[in-house]
Amino acid sequence: MGMEERMRTQRSWLLVLGGVLILCAPVLGHHSLSEYYIEADTIEVEGEVVEFQFRNPHSWVHIMGQEVFGKPKPYAAEWASVSRLERDGITARTLKAGDIVRIWASPNRNPNDNRIRLKRIERRSDRWKWGGQQNRDGNPDNRGENR
């Protein structure tokens, strides 16, 4: 095998390797939720919505809750992607600052981190809710209602 042929083979392999890396980058960039949250546990947090971030890769609901002794405590609840929420009827206007909500969530593995993973949410004022219900097939019915 001549020098020119070897160089061509090396370039071909580098192109193949580069293509594989580019295709795998999105997969490597996404984290497993169980890496950060205790999925088998559920906590309840009630408080006032401070901000609703309707964005990708995950939306976030920021609320001001309370600790056991009534001291204010901020929480950031990680939710689903915009496309998933839109399929369930959720829009950027579904939650507003000032809404009082109750959230059922997986707690963070780090007890000092106030991030939680949202499993179910209910707004007190009109009983709007997402998650936790069962449809006729026994699967979660996560369709939300807009106001």
pLDDT tens track, the chain, 147 positions: 677 787 677 776 555 555 555 554 444 444 577 789 999 999 999 999 999 999 999 999 999 998 878 899 999 999 999 999 999 999 999 999 999 999 999 999 998 999 999 999 999 999 999 997 533 333 344 444 444
Distances (CA, A) of 72 to 18, 29, 49, 65, 67: 50, 34, 13, 6, 6
- State how far the Cα of 116 lies from the Cα of 36, in Å rounded to an integer: 9
Contacts of residue 108, Cβ cutoff 8 Å, sequence gap at least 6: 36, 37, 38, 114, 115, 116
**Predicted local confidence at residue 25, as pLDDT:** 43
| Closest of 138, 140, 116, 139 to residue 129, by C-alpha | 140
Token pair for 138: 């026994």
**Predicted local confidence at residue 54, as pLDDT:** 98
Question: What residues form DSSP beta bridges with 137?
Answer: none
**Predicted local confidence at residue 73, as pLDDT:** 95
CA of residue 97 relative to chain centroid, distance:
19
**Predicted local confidence at residue 140, as pLDDT:** 41
**Predicted local confidence at residue 69, as pLDDT:** 82
**Predicted local confidence at residue 3, as pLDDT:** 72
